[in-house]
Amino acid sequence: MHQTHYLKRFLIIGFFVIFAHTANAASTEDLNKDANQALNAITSTNPLAAELAKTAKAVLIFPNIVKAGLIFGGAYGEGVLKRGDKVEGYYNSVTASWGLQAGAQSYGYAVFLMTDKAVKYLRKSSGWEIGVGPTVVVVNEGVAKNLSSSTLKDDAYAFIFDQQGLMASVSIEGTKISRIKTP
């Protein structure tokens, strides 16, 4: 159990270093613009996302995550935490994985934080690993059919969008989200 945990941490750190050296960090202006465009696109095409945006305490938007893997894989992207129209901070999203995988893809995701508890956890933690802490429901077509304003009871709802590339599916389970300093 502990060996798997340490291996996962090692992979996350290793892929973060690789991505940090190979990807140019977006300026805050570009990141804000991309996050706003992504949020507008998802709320204009998805009625449930539009409904959540109206009542969410905050929204964490990662407009572009890049994932690559050949048995061992990693994904990295930067995002914006917004409360209404105000930017409250910048975060990165880092995922490490292993198993049967080959290829590359890009995607984005938005997490609608519905409770003060979820917002506080994100701010106070040294990094939020999806699957630990506040409950996050990943909304796909099947889940969306069963949700309505009266059944929305979880801490956060995540929507994956703009998936492109050669890999089969996207999971954000185990993704680590950490606050970053911006220039």
What pTM value is reported for the model? 0.75
Nearest partner of 159 among 177, 129, 133, 137, judged by Cα: 137
DSSP 24: P
pLDDT at position 21, please?
Answer: 41
| pLDDT tens, per residue, the chain with 183 residues | 445 554 455 444 444 444 444 444 568 899 999 999 999 999 999 888 998 999 999 999 999 988 776 667 778 999 999 999 899 999 998 887 665 555 677 888 999 999 999 999 888 887 777 767 677 777 765 444 455 555 567 888 888 887 765 545 556 666 888 888 875
pLDDT at position 144, please?
Answer: 45
Looking at the chain, which runs of residues are DSSP E strands?
58-83, 86-113, 128-129, 136-138, 156-165, 176-180
pLDDT at position 103, please?
Answer: 64
pLDDT at position 31, please?
Answer: 93
On whether the CB atoms of residues 130 and 174 are closer than 8 A, the answer is yes
pLDDT at position 112, please?
Answer: 94
